[in-house]
């Protein structure tokens, strides 16, 4: 089998289930790597036709069918409940030896449900690329979203090293800088702070009563950065927030505490306290960026 420098095999058939922003980005990234055969399944015929015109997929389908028997690697790019339904309806198509993975933002008990549906000889390695951009749909897809991104693996007890290493090799081949392995509980707890909370803050910032017709004339880098992810796929993120409700509520409470701490310092005109608050944040941010780029 032909391999990338990192050991990802390109002479295989990859099936992408869900050809939106993330699925389309996988298709484009894997095509750029030289993967021989990429097929896609999605209800959006326009997206499928565009991907074929772009030359990034070889075959397109609106539902599961016999073509899935060709797939060595299957990437589910959809919400967990839709993925589970698809797997339940199409489990008889996956061949022995196929490797399945996903991109679901919340793991919970999804892996156990999927494990009960897997045909003999088919493995599932839960994953989550920490990659994305504004907007939604295939039209926003880009292979570049994986460049220097982090990739989280949430291995199941029955996963062997060869299976998790195969998904890790794909992530590295796509351009991801770090591949981290965690438990489902660790994943959901951390993602509430690093992903869900920033989306809540961005949408709250844009939904503030302060937003008026004059706002656009006063926007610079800080507002653009802080509100970037407010251009959100509302149904998808509603499901993610509700699926991880307890962790997200905990992080909202912790953020509210920090915000109230700053408000108190400001109300009391505590110049030293405000300066210390800001300097601590600056140091922690620099340390975070340094660690991110040097691991």
CATH of domain 187-292: 1.10.3660.10
Convert the pLDDT of each residue in 18-77 to its tens digit: 999 999 999 999 999 999 899 999 999 999 999 999 999 999 999 999 999 999 999 999
Rounded to 5 degrees, what are φ and ψ at 206? -75, -30
pLDDT over 60 at 1, yes or no: no
Q: How high is the pLDDT of residue 291? A: 63
The residues spanned by each domain of the chain are 13-182, 187-292
Banded model confidence at residue 135, pLDDT cuts 50, 70, 90: confident
Bridge-partner residues for 16, per DSSP?
A: 40, 75
Convert the pLDDT of each residue in 194-248 to its tens digit: 999 999 999 999 999 999 999 999 999 999 999 999 999 899 899 999 999 999 9
Banded model confidence at residue 295, pLDDT cuts 50, 70, 90: very low
How many CA atoms within 13 Å lie on the side-chain side of 45? 0
If you write DSSP's letter for every residue of 87-148 in order, what string do you get? HHHHGGGSPTT-EEEE--S--TTHHHHHHHHPPTT-EEE-EEEE---SS-SGGG--GGGGTT
Listed residue (174, 195, 184) closest to 111, CA to CA: 184
Q: How high is the pLDDT of residue 92? A: 96
Chain centre distance of CA 41? 19
Rounded to whole angstroms, the Cα distance separating 39 from 262 reads 52
Rounded to whole angstroms, the Cα distance separating 295 from 285 reads 16
* Residue bearing tokens 């993330």: 22
Convert the pLDDT of each residue in 103-131 to its tens digit: 999 998 898 899 999 999 999 999 999 99
Q: How high is the pLDDT of residue 212? A: 95
What the block records as the tokens of 194 is 């690093």
CA distances from 189 to 124, 149, 196, 266, 275 (A): 22, 19, 10, 31, 30
What integer is the mean pLDDT of 9-26? 96
Rounded to whole angstroms, the Cα distance separating 121 from 90 reads 15
What the block records as the tokens of 178 is 């770090």
Convert the pLDDT of each residue in 158-167 to its tens digit: 999 999 999 9
Do the domains at 13-182 and 187-292 have one common CATH topology? no
Rounded to 5 degrees, what are φ and ψ at 38? -125, 125
Rounded to whole angstroms, the Cα distance separating 98 from 127 reads 16
Rounded to whole angstroms, the Cα distance separating 131 from 128 reads 9
Convert the pLDDT of each residue in 242-271 to its tens digit: 999 999 999 999 999 999 999 999 999 999
Quote the radius of gyration of the chain (alpha carbons, Å). 21
Rounded to whole angstroms, the Cα distance separating 83 from 157 reads 20
Rounded to whole angstroms, the Cα distance separating 192 from 264 reads 26
Q: What is 13-182's CATH superfamily?
A: NAD(P)-binding Rossmann-like Domain (3.40.50.720)
Cβ–Cβ under 8 Å, residues 211 and 74: no
Report the predicted TM-score, pTM, of the whole model to 2 decimal places.
0.87
Bridge-partner residues for 129, per DSSP?
A: 151
Convert the pLDDT of each residue in 137-152 to its tens digit: 999 999 999 999 999 9
Q: How high is the pLDDT of residue 7? A: 84
pLDDT over 80 at 5, yes or no: no
| The 37-41 sheet, strands edge to edge | 59-61, 37-41, 13-17, 73-76, 99-102, 123-125
Rounded to whole angstroms, the Cα distance separating 185 from 163 reads 21
């Amino acid at each position: 089998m032909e391999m990338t420098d990192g050991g990802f095999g390109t002479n295989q058939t990859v099936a992408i289930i869900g050809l939106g922003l993330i699925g389309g980005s996988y298709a484009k990234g894997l095509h750029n790597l030289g993967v021989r055969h990429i097929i896609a399944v999605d209800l959006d015929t326009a997206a499928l036709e565009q991907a074929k015109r772009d030359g990034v997929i070889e075959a397109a389908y609106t539902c599961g069918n016999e073509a899935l028997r060709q797939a060595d690697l299957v990437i589910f790019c959809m919400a967990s409940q839709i993925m589970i339904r698809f797997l339940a309806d199409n489990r008889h198509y996956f061949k022995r030896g196929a490797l399945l993975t996903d991109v679901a933002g919340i793991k919970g008990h999804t892996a156990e449900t999927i494990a009960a549906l897997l045909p003999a000889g088919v493995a599932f390695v839960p994953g989550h690329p920490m990659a994305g951009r504004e907007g939604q749909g295939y039209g926003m897809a880009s292979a570049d979203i994986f460049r220097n991104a982090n990739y989280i693996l949430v291995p199941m007890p029955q996963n062997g090293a060869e299976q998790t290493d195969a998904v890790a090799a794909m992530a590295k081949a796509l351009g991801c800088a770090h591949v981290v392995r965690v438990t489902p509980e660790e994943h959901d707890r951390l993602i509430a702070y690093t992903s869900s909370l920033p989306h809540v803050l961005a949408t709250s910032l844009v939904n503030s009563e302060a937003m008026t017709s004059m706002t656009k004339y006063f926007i610079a880098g800080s507002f653009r950065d802080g509100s970037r992810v407010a251009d959100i796929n509302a149904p998808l993120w509603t499901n993610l927030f509700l699926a991880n409700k307890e962790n997200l509520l905990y992080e909202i409470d912790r953020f509210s505490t920090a915000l109230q701490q700053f408000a108190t310092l400001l109300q009391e005109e505590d110049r030293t306290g405000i300066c210390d608050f800001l300097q601590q944040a600056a140091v922690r941010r620099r340390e975070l960026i340094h660690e991110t780029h040097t691991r």
